[in-house]
A and B are shown apart, each in its own frame.
Chain A
Amino acid sequence: MSQVQGSGVGLWIAAIKRDKKARIGAIILGVFLFIAIFGPWLVEDPDALVGVPLQPPSSAHWLGTTGQGQDVLAQVVVGTRVSLTIGFCVGIGVVLIGALVGITAGYLGGRVDAFLSLLFNVFLVIPGLPLAIVIAAYLPSGPFTLAVVLIVTGWAWNARVLRAQTLTQRKRDFVAAALVAGESKFRIVTREILPTMTSLLVAQVIGSTVYAIGAQVGLEYLGLGDVSAFTWGTNLYWAQNDSALLTGAWWTFVPTGLCVALVAFGLTMLNSGFDEITNPRLQLERAWRKYLTRNKTEATHSTPVVITND
């Protein structure tokens, strides 16, 4: 078996089985998903005042206490659930909207394309984060608002990429063949064009999720979230508010920061592993590179010469 067939779950399993990067990413993500789903039942109430404020990690409070005397571990764990939920919802949301707009524009062309292209180009030139700050400041604060804000400011780039991809696919002969065979436009888009983009869509969801988690943490850190909720962003907001940096209370912000970095890292690893498994060129090059390394030859621009006497 040299080529990975199919799509969806099967591909993911293949990627995780065969690719080290994908495996590392999947393990990191699996741990965080476990924390997000079951964690909140395993820790104390993050709101409860459980001890003396700003205590360093101890056996009673593994990650110490906040400036208010709450348990840091409990806040990080409960924050994981909210932050990951928003991250994935936004990641999927922007790609769904981007796909709808981009593929429609690319496939229908003409006036529809002109209008939709104008629309996403306008959204593209509006700087995303400042707009997000403005909207978030006016709407009632909370995780849902944040998700809406991030989707509104984040979909346009995906639409643009998918429109371009649709334009190139539309001209391929297999689409012409489907047209000749009398397939409907809807079927051509969903059955012929979408499947060729699986790996691109997955990459976009993952990339957008990383963006969403980062942007959400940033906005909340600036106080634009609901500061009474427990998310990674508000954790950092309170750490800053309680002058954690000045007092050297590293345990109030390092664990949350580490979580954000780890999730972004895990998602990126998973993505590059998935890319290697769905992109046959990368896959072939991998075997080739290994072969060259084993025979102590450099990968050059011109065809390499590896003399083997067999």
Chain B
Amino acid sequence: MTKPVLSIQNLSVDYVTDDGPVRAIDNVSLDVMPGEILGVAGESGSGKTTLAKAIMRILQPPAVISGGRVLFEDKDLLQLDEEGLRRLRWTRMSMVFQSAMDALNPVISIGEQIVDTMKVHTDFNSSQARDRAVHLLEMVGIPGDRIDSHAHQLSGGMRQRVGIALALCLEPSLVILDEPTTALDVVVEKEILGEIKELQNKLGFSVMFITHDLERMLQVSDRVAVFYAARLAEIGPAKGLRDNPQHPYTQGLLKAFPSIAPGARTPESIPGSPPSLLSPPSGCRFHPRCSQVVDACSQTRPIRTDLGPGHAAECHLLSQETGAAT
């Protein structure tokens, strides 16, 4: 079996507030395999961005990583010092942020930003770096002659493409995309997602792709992780998850999205709203909204149950079934 590029084991992340630490990632484990696109889905506030930034150790105060291991290319990122992290960031793992406008420098041309990034980490000279910047921009669908443009001269879609070019310029083995297309219209979104998939095919990097749009995610990802209130509810192959979701929350999410298939059912939303992380519900955090609750749900935390290759979920219904079978 191939080794994962990234292996997150029992990771917990807290935000330290005046009222004490708030756990925004709670004991989460997942792997990203080489050349895989792993989708991360979940409602707004479920901890997706926190997870992404915790992996790169770029969460700002008041965040603290409070447990677990993050193995990336055989190194535990939680053990690395500042210098070790600096050497890995962007060269081996990079990130495309939710708002490209905020991630790009407004007073430096996009070409210069790519050139600067390359010159910091490689021994390219200016003209080599510039040639490569043109090449990268064209690869993400921006005409090479836009290289001297500034961020504000570009459309939202183009900015996000620049963000992707910037993330790819040092050929990392893992690229994390945090809702890269949420601010864009669906046509551009579709284009960009297509391009990411194409680039990933060509260059072979692994992708952790975050979005709240489960439907779209199931189309582009190999596997999908579903988060609910700081915990991993279910993770599995995209196809298996779509056709046969096991966790009631995944089932609810899938039902909540409209489908254009002929004869499709009308979307049903999940009743209630996500809990506050300051005082999460006891037991399974989804139980107050779940349509299939049993007694155990409000009492004990469900354990992770393996449901097949690469497929697992945290739900009492599932652990009871397998428990009875064995």
* CB–CB B18/A302 < 8 A: no
For B85, list chain A residues within 8 Å (CB).
302
Pairwise interchain contact B54-A303, C-beta atoms closer than 8 A: yes
Residues of A within 8 A of B167 (CB): none
Do residues B66 and A307 form an inter-chain contact, with CB atoms below 8 A? Answer: yes
* B82 touches which of A284, A302, A308 (Cβ 8 Å): A302
Task: Contact check, B67 vs A302: say whether CB atoms are below 8 A apart.
Answer: no
Question: Counting CB contacts under 8 A, is B19 at the interface?
Answer: yes
- B17–A284 touching, CB < 8 Å: yes
Asked if A287 contacts B16 (CB within 8 A), the reply is yes
Q: B interface, by DSSP: helix, strand, loop or mixed?
A: mixed
Report A280 CB to chain B, min CB distance, Å: 10
* Residue with the greatest number of chain B CB neighbours at <10 A, chosen from A2, A283, A303, A308: A303
Q: Which residue of A lies closest to B19 (CB)?
A: A2
Q: A305 within 8 Å of B by Cβ? A: yes
Q: Which residues of A contact B66 (CB under 8 A)?
A: 305-308
Provide the bound-state CA to CA distance between A285 and B53, in Å: 18
What residues of A have a CB within 8 angstroms of the CB of B63 in the complex? 288, 303
The answer on a CB contact under 8 Å between A306 and B65 is yes
Q: Select from chain B the residue with minimum beta-carbon distance to A292.
A: B64
Q: Which residues of B contact A285 (CB under 8 A)?
A: 61-62
Q: A residues within 8 A CB of B57?
A: 302-303
Q: Which of B10-27 contact A (CB under 8 A)?
A: 16-19, 21
- B45 CB to closest chain A CB, in angstroms? 17
Interface size class of B (residues with CB under 8 A): 20 to 34
Residue of B18, B19, B59, B67 most packed against chain A (CB within 10 A): B18
Collect the chain B residues with CB atoms within 8 Å of residue A292's CB: 64
B78 at the interface (CB under 8 A from A): yes
A308 and B67 contact, Cβ closer than 8 Å, known pairs A2-B18, A291-B21, A300-B82: yes
Q: How far is it, in angstroms, between the C-alpha of A2 and the C-alpha of B16 when the chains are bound?
A: 11
Question: CB of B58 within 8 A of chain A?
Answer: yes
Interface string of B78-122 (1 = CB under 8 A from A): 100010010000000000000000000000000000000000000
Q: How far is the CA of A307 from the CA of B12 in the complex (A)?
A: 9
Cβ contact within 8 Å between A287 and B18: yes
A285 CA to B60 CA, complexed, in Å: 9
A304 engages B65 (CB within 8 Å): yes
On chain B, the residues within 8 Å of A283 by CB distance are: 18
A17 is an interface residue with CB less than 8 A from chain B = no
Q: How distant is the Cα of A308 from the Cα of B12 in the complex, in angstroms?
A: 10
Cα A291 to Cα B61 with chains together (Å): 11
B62: chain A residues within 8 A (beta carbon): 284-285, 287-288, 291
| B61 contacts across to A, CB distance below 8 A | 284-285, 288-289, 299
Q: Looking at the assembled complex, report how far the CB atom of A240 sits from the nearest CB atom of chain B, in whole angstroms.
A: 50
Interface string of A256-300 (1 = CB under 8 A from B): 000000000000000000000000000111011101100000011
Given A303-B54, A303-B57: A291 and B67 interface contact (C-beta under 8 Å): no
Identify which of B53, B58, B64 contacts A291 (C-beta below 8 A).
B64
**A301 contact set on B, CB distance < 8 A:** 82
B16 and A305 contact, CB distance less than 8 A: no
Which residues of chain B are near A306, meaning CB under 8 Å? 64-66
5 A–B pairs (Cβ distance < 8 Å), ordered by A: A283-B18, A288-B61, A291-B21, A303-B63, A307-B67
Q: Which chain A residues have a beta carbon within 8 Å of chain B's beta carbons?
A: 1-2, 283-285, 287-289, 291-292, 299-309
Given contacts A288-B62, A302-B85, 17 further A-B contacts (CB under 8 A): A2-B17, A284-B16, A284-B62, A287-B16, A287-B17, A291-B16, A291-B21, A300-B82, A301-B82, A302-B57, A302-B82, A303-B57, A303-B59, A303-B60, A305-B65, A305-B66, A305-B78
Give the 7 A-B residue pairs with the shortest CB-CB distance, closest first. Answer: A288-B62, A302-B57, A303-B59, A2-B18, A291-B16, A288-B16, A284-B62
